C-alpha cells in the first residue's frame, strides 16, 4: 500500500524525510560498459554502430542504411491516420507558439562613463535529440525537444531513434518531420549518444544533446558532457496533487494514475486537508487499477512509491510541496491561483480542476521535459534557452579606459598577474586613439 503520513503526528518529519530521499531506481552500474561503447564508436565509427545495433536491436544495417531516407519517411508518414496527424499538427502549432514567446532580446547600451556594453544571443549550430524506442517511444516528446531547438534557430537538428526488431513508430517519424528535424538515424543506446557527441563517417557531431533514455543513455550523456552540452539527467516521472474538498476524487485518482502508468518507479503523491478526499481517492484508485490496461505498472508505482499526506490546511500543503519540488504539481483546489503564489519549487504547475497534467503532456504548449528528483529546486524544464548561447559584448573608448583602467590595474597586480596589468596600463600611456 502507498505511504500514509499525517503532518500532525510526532513521527511525521522522520517519515516525510524517508519519502523525500527514497531511491526509486535500481542502482545499475553501467559506466564501464558505456565507456567501452563510447570508445568503440570513437575508434571504429559506423562499424561500431552497425555491430551494436545488430547486438541490441537485432537488425542488420550498413553505413548507408543508418539514416532514414526521404522515401522511407514519406512512406511512414502515410501510415499515420488523419486523426492522429491532425492531433500532432495541433500540438506542434501550440508548442511552437508558446516557445516563440521565450525568445530573448539582444541588448546594447552605453553606460555613464562611455563604456559600450551588451549581449547577443545565438543558437547552437547543431543539436541532437535522443528518442527512446519500444514502449517509451513517444511522439509528443519529439515535438517537445525538437520544436524549441528550431524556434531557437538551430540550423541542423539530428534525431536518433532505435527500431528494435525493425519496428518503427510512424508517429515518431512524422512528429520529427513536423518539427523540422533535418536528419533521422535508426540507432539507439549509448552508441547513439557517442555518435552524436563525437561523430562518425555518416553522422556529423552536434553541439548539444537532449532527450530521455534508459540507464545506458543517461550514463553516456554524463560521460560525453563537456565534449557536448546536455539538457538534464531525467529520473522517473512524478506528480504531486494538492486537493481540497472541492476536488473530484475520481478525477484526482485518474491524474495520479496518469503518472503511475509511465513506469513502476514513477511517484504519485496526494496532499490534502480533507479526510473525505483521502478515503474517496484511495477507493477510486483501487477500482481503477482493476480496469486499466497498464494495471501492473501503475499498481506497483502506486503501492511502492505512492503517498498520501494529510495536512491541517493548504498553507502546510504548499510548504511540503516546496520541499518535495515535484516535476508536476496539480492544484485541485477552490482557489488555485492564490495557492500557486505560495509555490516556489515545481517543474510545472497545473491550476484548477479542469487542468489535468496529462493535457500539458500534449497540447497546452509549455514543455513537458521537466526536472525530476527534487531538481526543480535549482533547475527548469526544457526551453528555447537550452539551445541558445549568450555572448557578452564590450567596447571601451580611450577616455573610458582612463577612468576605469587604474582599478583594473590595481586588481591585476593584487592577483600577481603582471601582464594583465601591463596590457591595460600601456594603453593608458598612449596618446593614440
Reported as a single tens digit per residue, the pLDDT across 264-309 is 999 999 999 999 999 999 999 999 999 999 999 999 999 999 999 9
C-alpha 116/C-alpha 381 separation (Å) is 33
Q: What is the pLDDT of residue 225?
A: 97
* Start-to-end Cα distance in the chain: 78
Pick the closest to residue 379 from 174, 230, 254 (CA basis). Answer: 230
Residues 99, 328, 330, 368: which is the catalytic one? 328
Residues in the chain: 433
C-alpha 243/C-alpha 310 separation (Å) is 10
Lowest mean pLDDT among 133-137, 178-182, 377-381: 133-137
Taking each continuous run of H as one helix and of E as one strand, the counts in the chain are: 17, 14
Give the H/E segment covering residue 152.
helix 139-152
Q: Is the pTM of this model over 0.85?
A: yes
pLDDT confidence band for 134 (50 / 70 / 90): low
Q: State the cell numbers at 63.
A: 553505413
Q: State the cell numbers at 309.
A: 499526506
C-alpha 368/C-alpha 237 separation (Å) is 11
Q: Is 328 a catalytic residue?
A: yes
309 in helix, strand or coil? strand
Give the H/E segment covering residue 243.
strand 238-243
Reported as a single tens digit per residue, the pLDDT across 83-129 is 999 999 999 999 999 999 999 999 999 999 999 999 999 999 999 99
Percent of the chain with pLDDT over 90: 93
Strand segments, DSSP code E, in 144-207 are 156-160, 183-185
Q: Is 36 a catalytic residue?
A: no
pLDDT confidence band for 222 (50 / 70 / 90): very high
174 in helix, strand or coil? helix
On the 0-12 / 13-18 / 19+ scale of CB atoms within 10 A, 55 is exposed
| Exposure string for 372-403, b = 16+ CB within 10 A, e = fewer | bbbbbeeeebbbbbbbbeeeeeeebeeebbee
Residues 170-174 have a mean pLDDT of 96
C-alpha 130/C-alpha 196 separation (Å) is 9
Residues 327, 330, 357, 368: which is the catalytic one? 327
Domains of the chain: 3-25+235-364 (3.40.50.1980), 31-230 (3.40.50.1980), 396-429 (no CATH)
pLDDT confidence band for 214 (50 / 70 / 90): confident
> What is the rounded average pLDDT for all residues in the chain?
95
**CA torsion through residues 336, 337, 342, 346, sign:** positive
Pick the closest to residue 230 from 386, 376, 414, 107 (CA basis). Answer: 386
Q: Please say if the pLDDT value at position 432 is more than 80.
A: no
Q: State the cell numbers at 7.
A: 503532518
Q: What is the pLDDT of residue 93?
A: 98
Q: What is the pLDDT of residue 27?
A: 58
Amino acid at each position: 500500500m502507498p505511504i500514509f503520513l499525517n503532518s500532525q503526528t510526532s513521527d511525521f518529519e522522520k517519515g516525510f524525510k524517508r519519502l523525500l530521499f527514497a531511491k526509486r531506481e535500481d542502482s545499475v552500474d553501467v559506466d564501464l560498459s558505456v565507456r567501452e561503447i563510447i570508445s568503440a564508436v570513437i575508434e571504429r565509427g559506423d562499424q561500431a554502430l552497425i555491430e551494436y545495433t545488430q547486438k541490441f536491436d537485432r537488425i542488420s544495417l550498413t553505413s548507408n542504411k543508418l539514416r532514414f531516407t526521404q522515401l522511407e519517411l514519406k512512406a511512414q508518414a502515410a501510415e499515420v491516420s488523419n486523426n492522429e496527424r491532425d492531433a500532432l499538427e495541433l500540438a506542434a502549432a501550440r508548442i511552437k507558439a508558446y516557445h516563440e514567446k521565450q525568445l530573448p532580446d539582444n541588448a546594447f547600451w552605453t553606460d555613464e562613463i562611455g563604456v559600450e556594453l551588451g549581449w547577443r544571443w545565438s543558437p547552437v549550430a547543431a543539436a541532437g535529440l535522443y528518442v527512446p524506442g519500444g514502449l517509451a517511444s513517444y511522439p509528443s516528446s519529439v515535438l517537445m525537444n525538437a520544436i524549441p531547438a528550431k524556434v531557437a534557430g538551430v540550423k541542423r537538428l539530428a534525431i536518433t531513434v532505435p527500431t528494435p526488431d525493425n519496428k518503427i513508430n510512424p508517429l515518431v517519424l512524422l512528429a520529427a518531420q513536423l518539427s523540422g528535424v533535418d536528419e533521422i538515424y535508426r540507432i539507439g543506446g549509448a552508441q547513439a549518444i557517442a555518435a552524436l557527441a563525437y561523430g562518425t563517417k555518416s553522422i556529423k557531431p552536434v553541439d548539444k544533446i537532449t532527450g530521455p533514455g534508459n540507464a545506458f543513455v543517461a550514463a553516456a550523456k554524463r560521460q560525453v558532457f563537456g565534449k557536448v552540452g546536455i539538457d538534464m539527467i531525467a529520473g522517473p516521472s512524478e506528480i504531486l496533487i494538492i486537493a481540497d474538498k472541492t476536488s473530484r476524487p475520481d478525477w484526482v485518482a485518474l491524474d495520479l494514475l496518469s503518472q503511475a502508468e509511465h513506469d513502476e518507479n514513477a511517484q504519485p503523491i496526494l496532499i490534502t486537508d480533507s479526510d473525505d478526499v483521502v478515503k474517496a481517492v484511495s477507493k477510486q484508485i483501487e477500482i481503477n487499477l482493476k480496469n486499466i490496461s497498464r494495471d501492473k505498472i501503475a499498481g506497483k508505482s502506486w503501492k511502492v512509491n505512492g503517498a498520501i499526506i494529510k495536512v491541517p490546511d493548504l498553507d502546510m500543503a504548499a510548504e511540503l510541496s516546496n520541499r518535495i519540488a515535484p516535476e508536476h504539481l496539480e492544484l485541485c483546489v477552490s482557489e488555485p491561483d492564490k495557492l500557486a503564489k505560495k509555490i516556489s519549487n515545481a517543474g510545472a504547475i497545473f491550476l484548477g480542476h479542469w487542468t489535468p497534467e496529462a493535457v500539458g503532456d500534449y497540447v497546452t504548449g509549455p514543455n513537458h521535459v521537466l526536472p525530476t528528483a527534487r531538481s526543480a529546486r535549482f533547475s527548469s524544464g526544457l526551453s528555447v534557452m537550452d539551445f541558445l548561447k549568450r555572448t557578452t559584448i564590450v567596447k571601451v573608448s580611450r577616455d573610458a579606459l582612463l577612468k576605469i583602467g587604474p582599478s583594473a590595474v590595481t586588481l591585476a597586480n593584487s592577483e600577481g598577474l603582471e601582464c594583465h596589468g601591463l596590457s591595460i596600463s600601456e594603453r593608458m600611456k598612449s596618446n593614440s586613439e
